[in-house]
Structure 1
Amino acid sequence: MHILVPIDGSDCSFRALEFAAKMADRYDGSVHVVHFTDEETEATDTIKQRARSVLDAQGIDADPEVSTDVDIEFRPGDRVGDAILDLVEADGYDHVVMGHKGSGTVERAILGSAAETVLRSERVPVTIIP
């Protein structure tokens, strides 16, 4: 099982990473961690370090990746969701595990939701961690 875990720095995304690490261990799989952003900043470095700590604690030898190939100015959730789906297709992931903060209707309408975009595509099995 080849698992993709997109992280955004939220607590729920790190809970998703912990869940995916345990899932990979149980099913003899691998975990690939990616953070999508329009530019790398100190916050990006912090997210990568925290992800590395989670992976180390679970005994997984993988380096979190940062992708700056996404325009997140308009409806960033939808754009990130589409980028996740592109990565799933390009690299052949079997499963996506991601966090979801449970934003309100207005926020989803304005910003979109990466988790909802991936889930509604029905292209890959998805586990959503609150």
Structure 2
Amino acid sequence: MRFVIAVDGSAESDRALDHAVEMATAAGASLTAVHSVDPDVYDRGGSRPPSDSADFEDRLVVESVADAEERGNRLLEEAVDRAAETGLDVDRELLYGDPVETVPDFAITEGYDGVFVGHRGLSDAHERVLGSVAKGIVERSSLPVTVVR
């Protein structure tokens, strides 16, 4: 058996990784950690709307693809190292795009048997606007998805 674990650096993702490692070890299965590079665009916030283009430039932050790749590779390396502490060798794969699409598509295309994902990786405010990545993966995947709280 082969499983995918989606990692994003959140506490929920860490719990999902620990559970996936435990299940893969018990089942004699292999595990691949994946992270999807999807550069963030976010507003640093403030109590008032931006007043002009200079204000937008000061508040709007756009993460470059290179920065997102660096962050993703670091998260994958941390996941591999965390799993290695238990004695399980974990493969890693950096994906590109919206994780709701890329994670299940990768797992299905590559012939995996299931996906593990943390319950929440975003703040409640972001989740209300963007929706839950875990929920999206469950809805999109034809494979079994284990959502870990």
Given the two structures, how large is their TM-score scaled by the length of structure 2? Answer: 0.70
Q: Determine the C-alpha separation between the residues in 1 that align with 2:74 and 2:99.
A: 20
1:51 aligns with 2:79: yes
72, 92, 97: which one aligns with 1:64? 92
Provide the residue aligned with 1:120 in structure 2: 139
**Partner secondary structure for residue 88 of structure 1:** helix
Q: Determine the C-alpha separation between the residues in 2 that align with 1:40 and 1:53.
A: 22
Q: Determine the C-alpha separation between the residues in 2 that align with 1:10 and 1:40.
A: 21
Greater share of strand residues, 1 or 2?
A: 2
User: Does the CA contact (< 8 Å) of 2:120 and 2:134 recur in 1?
Assistant: no
Q: Determine the C-alpha separation between the residues in 2 that align with 1:30 and 1:40.
A: 29
Q: State the Cα RMSD in Å.
A: 2.0
Provide the residue aligned with 2:47 in structure 1: none
Q: Determine the C-alpha separation between the residues in 1 that align with 2:66 and 2:77.
A: 13
Identity of aligned residues (%): 31
Note the residue ranges of structure 1 that are not aligned, 5 or more in a row.
71-78
1:94 aligns with 2:113: yes
1:85 aligns with 2:104: yes
Q: Determine the C-alpha separation between the residues in 2 that align with 1:21 and 1:48.
A: 14
Shift of 1:112: 2.5
With 48-57 and 21-30 compared, the bigger mean Cα shift is at 48-57
CA deviation map 1:1-21 (0-9, x unaligned)? 211101111111111111111
Q: Determine the C-alpha separation between the residues in 1 that align with 2:5 and 2:145.
A: 10
Shift of 1:93: 1.3
Note the residue ranges of structure 2 that are not aligned, 5 or more in a row.
39-64
**Partner secondary structure for residue 120 of structure 2:** coil
Provide the residue aligned with 2:8 in structure 1: 8
Shift of 1:107: 3.2
User: Does the CA contact (< 8 Å) of 2:134 and 2:147 recur in 1?
Assistant: yes
Amino acid paired to 1:16: A
User: Does the CA contact (< 8 Å) of 2:31 and 2:91 recur in 1?
Assistant: no
Structure 1 pair 58/40, CA: closer, same or farther in 2 (3 Å)? farther
Amino acid paired to 2:83: L
